[in-house]
Amino acid sequence: MSEYQPPLEDIDFALNQVTDLASVAKLEGFQHADPDTVRDILAEAGRFFSEVIAPLNRVGDRQGSRLTEDGVVVTPDGFKDAYHKFVESGWGAAHIPEEYGGGGLPYTVGIVLQEMFKTANMAFSLCPMLTQAAIEALIRHGDDTQRGLYLEKLVTGEWTGTMCLTEPHAGSDVGALSTRAERQPDGTYRLFGQKIFITWGDHDLTDNVIHLVLARTPGSAPGTKGISMFLVPKVLVEADGSLGRRNDLRVVSLEHKLGIHASPTCVISFGDAGEGAVGYLIGEEQRGMRYMFTMMNTARIGVGIEGLAMGERAYQLALGYARERRQGRPVGGDPTVQSPIIEHPDVRRMLLTMRSYNEAMRRLLYVVARHVDFERRAETAEERERHGKVVALLTPVTKAWCTDLGVELSSIGIQVHGGMGYVEETGAAQHYRDARIAPIYEGTNGIQAIDLVLRKLPLDEGRVVHGFIAEMRSVAEPLATVDSKAAARLTEALDALAASTDWLLGRLAGGSYNDALAGATPYLTQFGTVTGGWLMARSLLAAHRMLEAGEGDARFLRSKISSASFYLDQLLPRANGLVPAVTAGAEPLMSLPAGDF
């Protein structure tokens, strides 16, 4: 089985020729993140993740994390040592602001580091991802005492963080949660209740785990409006920062999952001993859902990376197999010699589908990250607001489109292997099993589609989405100078997307919400596919420009043109066929009575 090799050449091309990393490096505080410096950083990071983290991927899948009889969660062989090396290297804090002990790199660079980690070992990467989300929540909403006691150790990775939302009776409907928090005379709270699906809820990698828990205080409003957020450490922390006694919380069980076996998904009970788990209110009471979305939106982009990660890992494995596996003979080939299956057109179709989608996802994720950096650090409030609205528009697309593709591409990877892909020893099945959780994580992809249509399309009365479509249109004219057919396909796809957008906005304006909701998922797929086409068009233009200028490696640049041309010719047109599904309305979905299914 081939191991992971970070695609540093395409990463560099995507960062500098499509994303424009140089413009990010001009933002205040990012002057040290020039392209040459970032290139050296990523080369070293790629070595670390491929050599230290990637070899544990199969070990983690086979062994899994386990819960001992005395309630201790034990991770697979090698994970603890690798985590300590990860912490020592500082990769987990590379994009955290320097004032909090991080490396101060742009989020755009942090996204690349996350991509490498997740592709090397998705199950392992989930722990630092959630810690980073907890760090961001504390930076933005915690008080000075909380930041002073917890932030440094979370940034260094000495401690890890979690999100505790879901309960047995309250999954996507977070407002139905019932965990309660009772205020004490000393200002602390005592929490009672049970949370499920807590990713890396406990482990043996660090001495403490900091849980950010959603709960209700007495007399709070019903639904999501009455939810508060609490910091609940596994081990209580004294005023001087030292560890005290164990808090009143315990791991009841670990879930037995389809994939990501190395990631301990915990059922955690708070307050079983009777005294209640000690918690500290973050911010104000009944503002917890707003605070949680600070973590959630960061995590949603992070989960989007998992789609790319599984697609890339599956592609590398399938490509290696296709080069080595000899079966059949291509048309016109020597009838006495079996050829590598990569010579067969249909295998090439599958590999190019994987490759092109991966490149499109990579560019989307990096472009979204660039907008995040500008949202945080652009000079004027007007610029920051403008970039923030683009981030809001693209976040549900990034999360859902990329994770759906991660499942599709890892499935294609199995197909490339043929019957051997269905055998666990090849490793192809693990990527498919691991990828399947990502469309469910951090708000299912159906919820992302609802968010896109109900909340993001109406931003500024539709001006944000129409402005983004107009930006994508601006590529068609220069594209026509190098590939008129591709330019026509992009224009056709943008026209179809604009028509779908107008139809949905019209239904929302008329109060026909079920019609809009019925078309939400196909619309998100259409939006992602067209956005990918826009970015691959930019990739194609950049490769042509560099070839004409005599810059870069000609063979590599021609491969970028091939990937982009394949996407624009064979994958982008799929978006046009989604218009009827987007605009069909609710009647086809609602006409069959529930009892007749």
**pLDDT, tens only, 471-512:** 999 999 999 999 999 999 999 999 999 999 999 999 999 999
Q: How far is CA 405 from CA 168, 335, 352, 513, in A?
A: 29, 37, 14, 27
- Number of helices (H), then strands (E), belonging to the chain: the values are 22, 12
What range defines the domain where residue 186 resides?
160-286
For the segment 522-540, what is each residue's pLDDT rounded down to a tens digit? 999 999 999 999 999 999 9
Residue that is last in its domain, among 286, 307, 339 = 286
**CA nearest to 574, candidates 307, 291, 360, 295:** 360
Within a domain: residue 382?
Answer: no
Band (pLDDT 50/70/90 cuts) for residue 329 is confident
CA–CA separation, 387 vs 377, rounded Å?
Answer: 10
CA–CA separation, 3 vs 56, rounded Å?
Answer: 10
* Helix/strand/coil for 119: helix
Within a domain: residue 463?
Answer: yes
Q: CB of 557 within 8 A of CB of 546?
A: yes
Same domain, 166 and 152: no
Catalytic option among 442, 492, 548, 587 = 442
**CA nearest to 177, candidates 230, 129, 137:** 230
Tokens of 402: 């990329």
Contacts 24+ apart (CB under 8 A), 340-345: 341/416
Residue that is last in its domain, among 251, 286, 321 = 286
pLDDT of 1 above 60: no
Q: What is the CATH number of the domain that holds 246?
A: 2.40.110.20
Domain total for the chain? 3
Same domain, 53 and 123: yes
CA–CA separation, 317 vs 315, rounded Å?
Answer: 5
Tokens of 418: 């043929």
Same domain, 95 and 227: no
Residue that is last in its domain, among 156, 187, 203 = 156
293's CB contacts (< 8 A; 6+ apart) are none
Band (pLDDT 50/70/90 cuts) for residue 77 is very high
Q: What is the CATH number of the domain that holds 132?
A: 1.10.540.10
Same domain, 87 and 186: no
Within a domain: residue 329?
Answer: no
CA–CA separation, 368 vs 324, rounded Å?
Answer: 37
CA–CA separation, 395 vs 525, rounded Å?
Answer: 13
Same domain, 77 and 129: yes
Q: Residue 442 catalytic? A: yes
For the segment 190-247, what is each residue's pLDDT rounded down to a tens digit? 999 999 999 999 999 999 999 999 999 999 999 989 999 999 999 999 999 999 999 9
